[in-house]
Amino acid sequence: KKFKVYVTQPIPKEAESIMHSNNIELIINQNTPLKRDLLLQNVKDIDGIFCTLNEKIDKEILETAGASLKVIGTCSVGYDHIDINECKKRNIPVGYTPGVLTDASAELTVGLLLNTTRRISEAINAAKTGEWADWKIMWMCGRGLSGSNVGIFGLGRIGLAVANRLKNFGVNKIIYHNRKPNEEGAKQGYEYVDLDTLLSQSDFLIVTCSATKETEKFFNLEKFKKMKKSAVFVNVSRGSVVNQEDLCVALKDNLIAAAGLDVTTPEPLPLDHELLKLRNCFITPHICSAEVNTRVKMAVITANNISLGLQNKALLHQIN
């Protein structure tokens, strides 16, 4: 008997092939964005789920899927959309894709930071709209990285990769705050500081932490008030680590200079959302890992995780 795996959206052929060659029948959803109701209908009596960060995999989904469900693979490094405890209770291994998207994510983070502080997208738009009248000395000026203090909140794989790239921009120093000092960070000469120091000294504050209970709405008005008025805030973690109403206030009242966000709450952000109207807020639609080879690798790892799980073997990358 073939295993049945529900796939929440079309995936690269390479990933399909792996699962096909592992005796898996794929039920691939074509109706994207996938509605919750349809997901609930389709997980009944399924052996595995190939999902992404779009789908909330909670107790209700697991109960609906029932005892047939043997493995879940998310095509992402983040897993805050999955109730890991509930999976553990049911002995359902959950696979994810760490490592392969580190470089792609770091690249985008640097790009978003440069765009935010040097106003690239704003300037491109000005060239198109005729706002470009002549070369004005102080027009379209932003603050550069040279001589600046770069702060990283959550120095993990991605944070380190961002720091390793930014150190070549002539920065003054790279500081970071974690629950505990990071060994590799220390080797690279990045300075472990307490939270208040990170907030008060960073010219660029980059958030690369994971989304947990402790980091939920962590960046609120109190934190923004402690930052430099000239500071640029970049978040590529999850929208949930930011109190967005407070961020709006901070940007409007110029408590900080600008923000670059690859992640928001919700996603997509409604078109009439205040953050989209602010001239000092730059939002990319969760594209950190959107690099061709990276996304294929993520899908292939997910396919392997699921195949291994169905054979009762350890996954390549298992969360629980």
Torsion of CA 239, 241, 245, 248, to 10 degrees: -70
Q: Does 300 bind ligand GLV (CB under 6 A)?
A: no
C-alpha distances in Å from residue 266, one per residue of 78, 138, 246: 16, 36, 15
Q: Does 15 bind ligand GLV (CB under 6 A)?
A: no
Interface with ligand GLV (CB under 6 A), residue from 15, 19, 53, 269: 53
Q: Does 158 bind ligand GLV (CB under 6 A)?
A: yes
- Give the position of tokens 């000294």: 201
Q: Does 98 bind ligand GLV (CB under 6 A)?
A: yes
Q: Does 77 bind ligand GLV (CB under 6 A)?
A: yes
Please tell me the distance from the alpha carbon of residue 32 to that of residue 9, in angstroms, as a whole number.
7
Judge whether 177 counts as a catalytic residue. Answer: no
Q: Which among 2, 98, 94, 99 is positioned nearest to 49, based on CA atoms?
A: 94
Q: Which of 20, 177, 273, 286 is catalytic?
A: 286
The secondary element (H helix, E strand) that includes residue 186 is: helix 183-187
Q: Which two tokens stand for residue 139?
A: 């027009």
CB nearest ligand GLV: which residue? 156
Q: Per DSSP, what are the bridge partners of residue 234?
A: 206, 260
Residue 288 vs 303, nearer CB to ligand GLV: 288
Interface with ligand GLV (CB under 6 A), residue from 215, 289, 294, 304: 289
Provide the pairing of β-strand 149-153 with 204-207.
parallel
CB of 58 to ligand GLV, least distance (A): 17
CB of 80 to ligand GLV, least distance (A): 8
- Which range of residues in 1-9, 25-33, 150-158, 182-190 is near ligand GLV by CB under 6 A? 150-158
Task: Name which of residues 172 to 211 contact ligand GLV (CB under 6 A).
Answer: 208
Q: Does 78 bind ligand GLV (CB under 6 A)?
A: yes
Q: Which two tokens stand for residue 99?
A: 């490592």
- Which range of residues in 26-34, 37-45, 151-159, 270-278 is near ligand GLV by CB under 6 A? 151-159
- Give the position of tokens 């209770």: 89
Cis peptide before 266 (omega within 30 of 0): yes
- Which range of residues in 98-106, 112-120, 132-140, 176-184 is near ligand GLV by CB under 6 A? 98-106
Please tell me the distance from the alpha carbon of residue 37 to that of residue 7, in angstroms, as a whole number.
15
- Known catalytic residues? 286
Binding interface with ligand GLV (CB under 6 A): 53, 76-78, 98, 101-102, 156-159, 208, 288-289
